Amino acid sequence: MILEDAPRRGLQHCETSTLGVLLRHQGLELSEPMMFGLGAGLSFIYWDRKGMPMPFLGGRVRPFELTTNLCDRLGLALSTQETSSRRKAWQNVTSQLDAGRPVGLQLDSYHLPYFTPPRVHFAGHMVAMYGYDDERAYVVDTDQQGGAVTVDLESLAAARAERGPMAAPNRSFTVTVPATLPPLREAAAAAIRDCASTFLDPPIANLGHRGIAKAAKLVVTWLDRSADPARDLPQVAALMERGGTGGALFRNLYRDFLAECAELIDDEAVRVGHERYGRAATLWTEVAGLIAQAGESGDEGRLRDASAVLSEIAQLEREAMTALVAVET
């Protein structure tokens, strides 16, 4: 069973790639930056806990929050199913596909054989599934991971059932687009304000601009923290840039979202935010490079340089969000 009319183009980020397939199948065309922005997807988290080999730098909201935000903002009907039963989980997916609807899946990318290194457990990954046969599932992942790819059913089941941080038990979901949508200008302005408000006033110091400032203080300790800096620090850098966790990807997406919004909303705040996030994205790439170099060389000076750049980023993003929190239509 393969949905021949399902879109099969992967985008840069897994959740927006998945949403893109589900929405385009129903005729709703939104750019990836617009989906990311309407979902108020931008954030930051410095996440560290006992047992983690290295801290995790996340540049976006929690998995699936972007999807729920976007659906709420546009009045889309979101149907979500979760279960601890692999048999029921498979039925949840095949029943939707048999009815002619592609399905979003949340799963752990570690179990996907096609996934490129670094392969680590990340249960917040998402794909859109558009078909299956007796041996394989047909899914759309990010462009980096091959776009339209296949995965054997055993690996898919393991990925969907994985437990741990960010996991959702065999979560699958569909989205229904109504006949009428709210004005895009108003939806975008409200999403900008909500994202900025949360970023500026996070509940704990690990989040938002406070989280970036915290990363600036703690990154200088990473050589001592790591049991194998030559392995661990380049891996953190690779996840930031190629995986998109805390690197430039989400800042680039938000920059481009604000560029689209500047065509809809005549407000200087949008232009200020666009300029600041353009600069921040470039600096995030610089940070990732410095972290990788520190691991490869053992030079603590590279981490001090990364700390200084992170402090600059925290200031830039705080300035951007301070302007954006007051944006009007």
The CATH number linked to 304 is: 1.20.120
The pLDDT value recorded for residue 121 is: 85
What is the residue range of 208's domain? 184-324
Counted domains in the chain = 2
Do 147 and 201 fall within a single domain? no
Q: Can you tell me the distance from the alpha carbon of 286 to that of 280, in angstroms, rounded to the nearest whole number? A: 10
User: Mind listing the pLDDT tens digit for each residue in 138-183?
Assistant: 999 999 899 999 999 999 999 999 988 888 999 999 999 999 999 9
Tell me which residues of the chain have a pLDDT lower than 50. Answer: none
Single out the residue of 57, 13, 10, 8 nearest to residue 35, CA to CA.
13
- pLDDT for res 323: 97
pTM, two decimals, is 0.94
Tokens of 11: 């985008």
Is residue 66 a part of any domain in this protein? no
CATH number of the structural domain spanning residue 24: 3.90.70
98 and 159 share one domain: yes
pLDDT of 243 reads 67
Which structure tokens are listed for 245? 């966790």
Three-state secondary structure call for residue 294: helix
Q: How far apart are the first and last CA of the chain?
A: 45
- Cis? peptide before 229, omega within 30° of 0: no
Its sign, for the CA torsion 185, 188, 194, 195, is negative
Final residue belonging to a domain, choices 141, 176, 211:
176
Are residues 300 and 246 both part of a single domain? yes
pLDDT at 118: 65
Q: Is residue 198 part of a domain?
A: yes
